[in-house]
Amino acid sequence: MTPAFFTSCNDLISNWEGMLSSDGSCEIDVWPSLQNLASDAISRTAFGSSYEEGKRIFQLQREQAELITKAVMKSFIPLWMFLPTVFHKRMNEVNNDIKSSLKDIINKREKALKKGESTKNDLLSILLESNQKEIEENESNKNVGMSIEDVIEECKLFYFAGQETTSVLLVWTMILLSRYPDWQARARDEVLNLFGNKKPDFDGLNNLKIVTMILYEVLRLYPPVIGLARDVQNDVKLGNLTLPAGVEVFLPILMLHHDCELWGDDAKMFNPERFFGGISKATNVNEFGITVAAVAEELDGGGIVVVAAIAEEFGIVVAATKYMLTSI
């Protein structure tokens, strides 16, 4: 995923540089830009050469998520979901468009696989190739493998698991760096000391300790997923607690990340220094750092690439209504 973020981030930086005024600054709403960056990078990773179509699908899913949220807010109105309104018509149009577009991409890839054409290094091709091998190895069992509907649902999950988590992380990082200019300066100094005037490269990402600490702290304070629910399949014993089968367990990630007993008296404050010794030493109870680690691992360096590139090129301050970018 990281190479895709390099490409998409370079496009973002070039776009922002073109918006700078004569004094080297501009006021910009970073949220749409970071959403588009994440969407572009995830589209390249998920769909490869079909990323433009994938990006359009992700934009439709974003609209679909907004429509569903509005629908839930009105669900208390009796029979409202069954009324033939313009709102419901648009919901159906978006849903059908997403399914139709994904089905076209999937069918093209499946035809290429059956012809023996070389697969592309993207998530969809890897998924289809793995599915085809499983079906071929279990020809006698018709219940093995995923149907095209299953593949469509997996493709839709790319958006929620990748684009949303990344864009939320990046926008909160911009907010906190603008509020804490000392940490913004430390991140910039680290990037400049490591890369000089060159663009950040893949080999140097693991050496960006301060940038990584900042991202961990942002994930702790503002996790993209605020809670996890799990069903207990079999009776299980957790310490002194016995959980019977059929019980649903909810892990309140946001509450755990703000718990002073776990993180110290400054749990509600922005303090990346707590991660100086790594995630395992950041809490009073080692196991509770795992929720930060799980999300950070999923991002696969994408957040580090973007923050390093932006810190190298721009200074960020909160403007009256948006964010002010200044060239470095």
Around 312, how many Cα atoms within 13 Å sit in the side-chain half-sphere? 23
Two structure tokens written together for 108: 């093209």
pLDDT of residue 290: 53
**Number of helical H runs and strand E runs in the chain:** 13, 7
Q: In whole angstroms, what is the distance from residue 269 CA to residue 307 CA?
A: 20
Q: Are 325 and 28 in contact (CB under 8 A)?
A: yes
Could you please state the CATH topology (level 3) that the domain comprising 2-327 is classified under: Cytochrome p450 (1.10.630)
pLDDT of residue 289: 53
Helices 290-299 & 164-179 angle (0-180, nearest 10): 110
**In the chain, which residue ranges form alpha helices assigned H by DSSP?**
2-17, 30-47, 51-73, 86-114, 123-137, 148-158, 164-179, 181-195, 209-221, 253-257, 260-263, 290-299, 302-313
Around 26, how many Cα atoms within 13 Å sit in the side-chain half-sphere? 13
pLDDT of residue 129: 80
Q: In whole angstroms, what is the distance from residue 42 CA to residue 53 CA?
A: 12
- Listed by start position, the domains of the chain span 2-327
Q: pLDDT means per 10 residues in the chain (328 residues)?
A: 77 87 84 84 75 78 83 78 82 89 83 70 78 75 75 76 80 92 93 84 83 92 84 87 89 88 91 88 67 53 84 80 61
pLDDT of residue 288: 54
Q: In whole angstroms, what is the distance from residue 152 CA to residue 103 CA?
A: 7
pLDDT of residue 298: 47
Q: In whole angstroms, what is the distance from residue 229 CA to residue 249 CA?
A: 6
